[in-house]
Amino acid sequence: MSVDPIQVLMKPLKIKGVTIRNRIMSTAHSSGFVQGGLPQEQYRRYQEEKAKGGIGMTMIAGTASVTPDSPNKEAGHVDLSNDEIIPYFQELAKTIRAQGASVMAQLGHMGRRAIWDRDHWLPIISASTIREPTNHSFPKEAEDWDIRRLVKGFGEGALRCKQGDMQGVEVGGAYMHLIEQFLSPLSNVRTDKYGGSLENRSRLLIEILESMREHVGDDFVIGTRISGDELRKGGLTQGEAIELCETLDRRGLVDYLSVMGGEAQDHISHPTAMPGMSYPVAPFLYLASAVKQAVSVPIFHAQRITDVNTAARAVADGHLDMVAMTRPHMADPHIVKKMVEGRTDDIRPCVGANYCIDRFYIRGQARCLHNPAMGRERDIPYEFEKSKTKKTVVIVGGGPAGLEAARVCALKGHNTILFERSSQLGGQVLLAAKSPRHEALANITQWLELQVRKLNVDIRLEAEPTEEDINKEAPDIVLIATGGDPATAQVKGAEHALSVWDILSGEVEPAETVLVYDDNSEHQAPQCAEYCASRGSKVEFMTHDRAMGQDIGLTEAALYRKHLYGYDVIFTPDQKLVEIYPEGNRLIAVLQNAYTDVEEERVIDQIIIENGVLPRDKLYFGLKPGSTNLGEVDLHALVDGRPQDIESNPDGKYQLFRIGDAVTSRNIHAAIYDAVRLCKDF
């Protein structure tokens, strides 16, 4: 039986005195947009956009720290340990509620998941003195006085949230933060009243909830987020989680429960707790459903529910009461608005790349792989005003950069022409989507293609224009988005090697023995290695870095390792590929240790080099003399969000710019960001 998403998801949910306008929410998460422990303009605009887009509720903060020994300021978390936060929360709450959305805050403590040499350089605490595998912290076992101050800190933090006009609070008891460190047998080996039995391991959480209730009163909403099953041998089981939830419900300690699956204590558990494109949709919905059958309070759930139809089915079938679509709202904060307007095709899809999470871990701020406006709401609009002057814009290249440029220019009302030399749009994304587990990446350019076709962009496939062809269109602006070609020339004898493109395109089949040499440190080489191994090749993955994929974030790097180890791929770090030469019908790879310069050789059937791309820029340089700006970009104007007005050639006929990999080798996000921040001012 079909379900009408609007009918199901737009039904309000009342929890005590709070009426949430619909059943879609965003869970608490770290974005890196918090500055100095305070939610200032960037964070406020990020949350406001979701409220504008119709979301029912947003849960802010993402483990707001309630005591000084949970480092926050340098880690990009909210500091809830003193009263300075109150006016910032008041302004944030006013902004979000003015758009009709509800707002609550999550309180927490990182425990051993924190990094000790941040902020105040205080000792890290946990349930037990077990080293944390991801951040490598050695915690102190929490003493009695530590527990007393934690309980007090959560109570005072809840009161500050209430004073800050939050409509409720949530205790962060998942993701192997401090409370879960007490709940889980994996991290709690205490022998006192806080360790051993489930009753004892739950004691800290119960004392915290009781303290919070004493501080905020009976009418204020309090909930908690927990794991419905840690999905780990020796961890918190589903049966224990249900028993705990029943206890919290029976004792009236919570007004709702937010249930997830997995935990996040080490590298391989992170992608389970934050499942991306390698996982099916809604993989852990059954855990939330089981808890809902056992308790009387509403159930929230988040984990890879990426579309409104899945969300509606989850609610309609009684699995949960509130659907959290956190990462999907990074991809498109206007999901609800577009659903209500009957424009679900216009919802920019979350592809599950986990670029948002991984970039937070690597660079300190979350970004959506293909929505560059996320976190840049002040500078990049979601809706574009028509230009006062209609121009003719010619774009060469139909990858993500060219497609986004065409979309924005068409929305601005310009006559937009898009040339693409191949028979289909998509560019390098099409290659990436051919690797195992990454098919969903194709949704990025499929969505962009749908948008430009709906906007009646003049698309010309199998067309590689010359300078003369472009001049015939009498353009006002020319954008070169031609991408690049694989760069392998850093190695002597590189002509004997293949590129990742050769393999993923299907032009060349993987051989029996394959050496994949990574001189990029990004996704391309691991994708290719996995592709070859999945087809039966015996693969050695080699890099001059300390380890594979140094620039790949935690969740995706862990999955590459898991799958490549499963195929018995050999990992060889700290080696440079310095020469390739043929010997008979095989190849000799000459290797050099990156630290000692000692050389050795491999006899291999096939060598694949990943070294990024070199810009395909011949057309750009051919057009440059005829442009008004001679290809120059005013970088100050670009950064400040102002139009490009350089006129260095009075005889020029058009402005000329290049974007994406046609400039230099980068990634999908950079290509799309190049396009939108340039074209929004045309």
Task: Label residue 363 by pLDDT band (50, 70, 90).
Answer: confident
d(CA 513, CA 502): 16
Reported as type and span, the H/E element at residue 498 is strand 498-499
Task: Label residue 147 by pLDDT band (50, 70, 90).
Answer: very high
In CATH, 488-611 is 3.50.50.60: yes
**455-491 pLDDT tens trace:** 999 999 999 999 999 999 999 999 999 999 999 878 9
pTM, entire model: 0.96
With tokens 């309090």, the residue in question is 222
Q: How many helices (H) and strands (E) does the chain have?
A: 24, 27
Task: State yes or no: pLDDT of 120 exceeds 90.
Answer: no
Q: What is the pLDDT of residue 364?
A: 86
Task: Label residue 7 by pLDDT band (50, 70, 90).
Answer: very high
Task: Label residue 115 by pLDDT band (50, 70, 90).
Answer: confident
- The average pLDDT across 380-391 equals 96
Q: What is the pLDDT of residue 202?
A: 98
What Cα–Cα distance (Å) separates residue 659 from each residue in 20, 316, 354, 623, 677?
A: 43, 45, 24, 15, 11
Q: Where are the beta strands (DSSP E) in 29-90?
A: 57-65
- Please give the CATH topology (third level) of the domain spanning 392-485+615-679: Rossmann fold (3.40.50)
Q: What is the pLDDT of residue 118?
A: 84
**504-543 pLDDT tens trace:** 999 999 999 999 999 999 999 999 999 999 999 999 999 9
Contact assessment for residue 677 and residue 372, using Cβ atoms and an 8 Å cutoff: yes
Q: What is the pLDDT of residue 2?
A: 82
- The average pLDDT across 574-580 equals 97
Encoding tokens for residue 679? Answer: 């074209």
What Cα–Cα distance (Å) separates residue 594 from each residue in 5, 543, 574, 608?
A: 57, 10, 5, 19
Q: What is the pLDDT of residue 631?
A: 98
The rounded percent of the chain whose pLDDT value lies above 90 is: 95
Query: Residue ranges of the domains in the chain?
Result: 5-363, 392-485+615-679, 488-611
- Which residues neighbour 568 within 8 Å (Cβ) at sequence distance 6 or greater? 533, 538
Task: State yes or no: pLDDT of 604 exceeds 80.
Answer: yes
Encoding tokens for residue 2? Answer: 């079909």
- Return the SS3 of 42: helix
- The average pLDDT across 138-160 equals 98
- Please give the CATH topology (third level) of the domain spanning 5-363: TIM Barrel (3.20.20)
**410-426 pLDDT tens trace:** 999 999 999 999 999 99
Same CATH topology for 5-363 and 392-485+615-679: the answer is no
**533-574 pLDDT tens trace:** 999 999 999 999 999 999 999 999 999 999 999 999 999 999
d(CA 473, CA 396): 12
- The average pLDDT across 630-655 equals 97
- The average pLDDT across 226-240 equals 98
- The average pLDDT across 585-600 equals 97
**316-344 pLDDT tens trace:** 999 999 999 999 999 999 999 999 999 99
Q: What is the pLDDT of residue 291?
A: 98
**Higher model confidence: residue 303 or residue 118?**
303
Encoding tokens for residue 44? Answer: 């406020």
Task: Tell which residue, 243, 268, 250, has the closest CA to residue 176.
Answer: 268
Nearest-5° angle of CA 585, CA 587, CA 592?
A: 165
d(CA 231, CA 237): 7
Q: What is the pLDDT of residue 489?
A: 76
Encoding tokens for residue 126? Answer: 């946990």
Contact assessment for residue 66 and residue 157, using Cβ atoms and an 8 Å cutoff: yes
**238-263 pLDDT tens trace:** 999 999 999 999 999 999 999 999 99
**177-203 pLDDT tens trace:** 999 999 999 999 999 999 999 999 999
Q: What is the pLDDT of residue 64?
A: 92
Task: State yes or no: pLDDT of 282 exceeds 80.
Answer: yes
Q: What is the pLDDT of residue 484?
A: 97
- Return the SS3 of 373: coil
Alpha carbon 311 to its chain centroid, in Å, reads 20
Sign of CA dihedral 191, 193, 194, 195: positive
